[in-house]
Amino acid sequence: MTTIRIAHSDEIPGLVQYPNDAERNAATGTYLTDLLSKGCTRPEWCLVAEDDGRLVGSVVLWTMPGNEMPIDVVLLEAPWDDPDLTIGLALLAEAATLARTLGATELGHVVDSPAQAPQFQRHPEEHAELLRRAGFTVARDGRRFRWLAGGELPAQDGRLRFRSLAELGPEPFVHLLETLLAETADARLTEDVRRHGLRKAAELLFEESAELDHEPQWWEIGYDADGTQAVISLPAHSPAFPVIGFVGVAPAHRGKGYSSSVVARGTAILAENGATEIRGDCDVENVAMFKGFQRAGYDNFANRMEFTRPL
């Protein structure tokens, strides 16, 4: 009989251990230890499936450091050879119930391919099928990019004049985000606009971005030679890596090569503040930003399917 329960203290941080996958086992322990130390999760948010005294599945609720309400699930493991995915569905149902009691109204989850640290999702097709059966839908088909120190920094664009959040305050940033969201190729942001309207979606994007660790002088608007807002750059540190965060080019200035310029700007700021590895994401449909990352010297090292479900 399978039981879904909170993990015991001696089962954390390892959770489910695979006899022939030492790399994945080690990554789980390292990742969960880091999440716990940063306040992204708590021991009581770590659920496991036990069958005849053996752990056969797990799922962990995740949030931004220190927040009281979970927003995602991570470390989702289940018997992937079960065509009914019974244990996986039970784990996600229990995680949803727990998240609701903590005030969550939706949960997200990402599936990265190829399989890699820290979650090593070895069965992406079964993983995606489990999520669909549990009521998740695809929010974005994304591409992941990575810049590593060691080579030259991407060249800066002298056509742009940058002014920071410390100088301007939030309103010009929210206004530019509203302009960008009116013509975005990002599926997740398009859905936010549909649900909340342009202004509210822009405010939420600014607020969510602000939860990442950053300095006000890092966040900038780049102005074109005619004095109009051309690009927005919100570099920051996620709980795991320095990230480009949100970047965008105003519709009136698209087609000028500014997508790589704004990535280059954020990269320089993070590198100047000690970053040796920087990551960034974009929707596969956002061709301009995809090319912008590449022109700025980033490698498309992974694909990321983002899923979400209402609670």
CA pair distance 22, 96, nearest whole angstrom: 30
Percent of the chain with pLDDT over 90: 98
pLDDT of amino acid 272 = 96
Residues 6+ apart with CB under 8 A from 9: 43
In b/e form, how buried is each residue of 69-105, taking b as 16+ CB within 10 angstroms? ebbbbbbbbbbbeeeebebbbbbbebbbebbeeeebe
* DSSP code at position 309: E
| Domains present along the chain, CATH in parentheses | 2-135 (3.40.630.30), 161-302 (3.40.630.30)
Phi, psi of 172, deg, nearest 5 = -60, -30
- pLDDT by residue (tens digit) across 124-166? 999 999 999 999 999 999 999 999 998 789 999 999 999 999 9
* Closest of 226, 294, 230 to residue 260, by C-alpha: 294
pLDDT of amino acid 79 = 97
13: cis peptide before it, omega within 30°?
Answer: yes
Residues 6+ apart with CB under 8 A from 8: none
251: cis peptide before it, omega within 30°?
Answer: no
Band (45; pLDDT cuts 50, 70, 90):
very high
- pLDDT by residue (tens digit) across 235-280? 999 999 999 999 999 999 999 999 999 999 999 999 999 999 999 9
